[in-house]
């Protein structure tokens, strides 16, 4: 069939068709090879910045908790999503950020590097070393916010985590996977209890993570020095966000510490987490929330402040073997104002945790260290994990102390007391003296069991109250040198059969005769 039109027209049409085909193929190839730069599309700019908060316009698809990067390199985290803008908290100085500064999405949730090399190091809220000992080689990257293990992945608490503090291990035992709150006014020894617990984990295959929130840098340095002095830094990592750090870093640091703890937990290790303290954490979060224009509620805290701590502490648990078999034991610290346990933050954290150790100012000032209030302290779980030897030795100590406190109140004005009451008061004051413990001197299980066994069987009634601590130390040294098999049996079998208890009392009486 002849093409329509003249020869010249046909040639022109053919050439036009060829050139059009070429153009289409070129366009197709260009489309196939085109590298769609998604980040370029997801660029916004700052419309307001101040106090560690930036408001950004132009990023429409950001997720809550996502990291964004500012053009000067500072990172921020999306914390507030509104209709036409997002609110970010900054993990660094806002000096180089101003109105119009470009911001890019990373599509990554906030996370920190984790690994075995973090043990023995001091790091900041972002997992970066601040101890001047060089970079840390990471093994993995864990999100700072992660869902707590489900009920199916957990198992019951049945292994003790010994603090080495006689008053706690005997009356308020803590199990691996438990959350035990340490609460009291400032300067009542809360941090000391936590530090002694860390020191007592030496040689017990427990990894410790200490998180300092809003503390003075000098205080953190002192704590690190104490840990190094006692050889505890070998199995400890310190996360520090000091009072001079911005509120976002103080807010994120306990979650960062928990991310490292989860890395070890899922590898089957037991971890002890100390949050010191969550009162300052709540204050940092309140500052952020008010700057993000969230409505304040009770005591000026935002309504979601309970969720702030519950989603943190729920991550502490004991996993079953299928899920990894590790555990995170949490010791959160809360500071009260004038012993007010019914304030907003204390009641929140008490309801999240599995018990509390209440340290009282009056007891502390009267020389009782640690100043544990026997009446208001409780462990809701640890009894199931307490060593059988300790459970048997502690027996009636708590009731005896409660009776002593009651009797002391009634008899302080009375001069004429019968013999039974006098003996009861002497026994009670001796027990109180035995529960005093100097700093950084945790007791092993057999030392605690021998002390309680001798005390409850009235083998130390002849000792003056003032000389009780020296007598206890001398008696324990005598047991270790003359009868080391008693200590070995308690440590290995963790039981206290009647014959062993009788033997302990007999040796205690033997020592009493020698020391008279």
Task: Quote the tokens at residue 332.
Answer: 């959160």
Q: In degrees to the nearest 10, what's the CA dihedral of 23, 29, 32, 35?
A: -90
- Distance from the first to the final alpha carbon of the chain: 133
Alpha carbon 5 to its chain's center:
88
Active site residue 380: yes
| Cβ proximity of 327 and 342 under 8 Å | no
Q: What is the pLDDT along the chain (516 residues), one digit of tens a residue?
A: 434 444 455 444 544 555 666 777 776 776 666 554 544 568 999 999 998 999 999 998 899 999 999 999 999 999 999 988 999 999 988 888 999 999 999 999 999 999 999 999 999 999 999 999 999 999 999 999 999 999 999 999 999 999 999 999 999 999 999 999 999 999 999 999 999 999 999 999 999 999 999 999 999 999 999 999 999 999 999 999 999 999 999 999 999 999 999 999 999 999 999 999 999 999 999 999 999 989 999 999 999 999 999 999 999 999 999 999 999 999 999 999 999 999 999 999 999 999 999 999 999 999 999 999 998 999 999 999 999 999 999 988 999 998 888 888 877 776 677 888 888 889 999 999 999 999 999 999 999 999 999 999 999 999 998 999 999 999 999 999 999 999 999 999 999 999 999 999 999 999 999 887
CB 129 within 8 A of CB 122: yes
d(CA 96, CA 71): 9
CB-CB contact of 76 with 89 (8 Å): yes
Which residue in this structure is represented by tokens 């019968």? Answer: 418
Q: Report the alpha-carbon distance of residue 479 to residue 459 in Å, rounded.
A: 14
Tokens 């963790």, located at residue: 494
Q: Which residues pair with 123 in a beta bridge?
A: 129, 239
Q: Of 154, 294, 380, 398, which residue is the catalytic one?
A: 380
Q: Are 117 and 138 in contact (CB under 8 A)?
A: yes
pTM for the predicted model, two decimal places: 0.89
């Amino acid at each position: 069939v002849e093409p329509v039109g003249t020869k010249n027209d046909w040639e022109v049409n053919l050439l036009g068709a060829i050139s059009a085909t070429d153009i289409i193929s070129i366009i197709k190839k260009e489309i196939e090879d085109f590298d769609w730069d998604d980040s370029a599309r997801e660029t916004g700019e700052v419309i307001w910045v101040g106090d560690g908060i930036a408001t950004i316009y132009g990023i429409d698809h950001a997720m809550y908790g996502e990291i964004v990067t500012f053009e000067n390199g500072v990172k921020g985290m999306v914390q507030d999503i509104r209709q036409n803008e997002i609110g970010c908290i900054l993990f660094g100085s806002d000096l180089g950020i101003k109105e119009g500064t470009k911001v890019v999405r990373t599509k990554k949730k906030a996370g920190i590097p984790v690994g075995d090399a973090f043990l023995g190091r001091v790091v900041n809220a972002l997992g970066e070393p601040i101890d001047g000992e060089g970079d840390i080689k990471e093994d993995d990257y864990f999100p700072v916010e992660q869902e707590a293990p489900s009920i199916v992945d957990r198992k019951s608490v049945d292994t003790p985590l010994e603090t080495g503090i006689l008053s706690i291990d005997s009356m308020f035992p803590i199990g691996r996977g438990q959350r035990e709150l340490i609460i009291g006014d400032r300067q009542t020894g809360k941090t000391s209890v936590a530090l002694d617990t860390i020191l007592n984990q030496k040689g017990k295959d427990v990894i410790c993570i200490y998180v300092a929130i809003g503390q003075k840098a000098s205080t953190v340095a002192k704590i690190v020095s104490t840990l190094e002095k006692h050889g505890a830094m070998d199995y400890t990592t310190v996360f520090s966000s000091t009072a001079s750090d911005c509120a976002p870093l103080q807010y994120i640091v306990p979650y960062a510490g928990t991310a490292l703890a989860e890395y070890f937990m899922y590898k089957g290790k037991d971890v002890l987490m100390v949050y010191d303290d969550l009162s300052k954490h709540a204050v940092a979060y309140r500052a952020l929330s008010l700057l993000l224009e969230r409505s304040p509620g009770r005591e000026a805290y935002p309504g979601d402040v309970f969720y702030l701590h519950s989603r943190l502490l729920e991550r502490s648990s004991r996993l079953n073997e299928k899920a990894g078999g590790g555990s995170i034991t949490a010791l959160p610290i809360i500071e009260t104002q004038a012993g007010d346990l019914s304030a907003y933050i204390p009641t929140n954290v008490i309801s999240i945790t599995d018990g509390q150790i209440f340290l009282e100012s009056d007891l502390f000032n009267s020389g009782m260290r640690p100043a544990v209030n026997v009446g208001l302290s409780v462990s809701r779980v640890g009894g199931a994990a307490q060593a059988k030897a300790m459970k048997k030795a502690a027996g009636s100590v708590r009731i005896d102390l409660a009776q002593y406190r009651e009797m002391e109140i009634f008899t302080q004005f009375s001069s004429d007391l019968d013999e039974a009451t006098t003996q009861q008061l002497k026994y009670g004051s001796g027990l109180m003296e035995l529960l005093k413990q100097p700093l950084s001197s945790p007791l092993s299980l057999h030392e605690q069991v021998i002390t309680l066994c001798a005390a409850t069987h009235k083998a130390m009634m002849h000792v003056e109250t003032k000389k009780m601590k020296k007598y206890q130390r001398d008696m324990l040294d005598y047991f270790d040198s003359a009868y080391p098999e008693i200590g070995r049996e308690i440590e290995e079998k963790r039981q206290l059969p009647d014959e062993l208890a009788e033997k302990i009392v007999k040796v205690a009486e033997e020592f009493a005769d020698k020391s008279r």
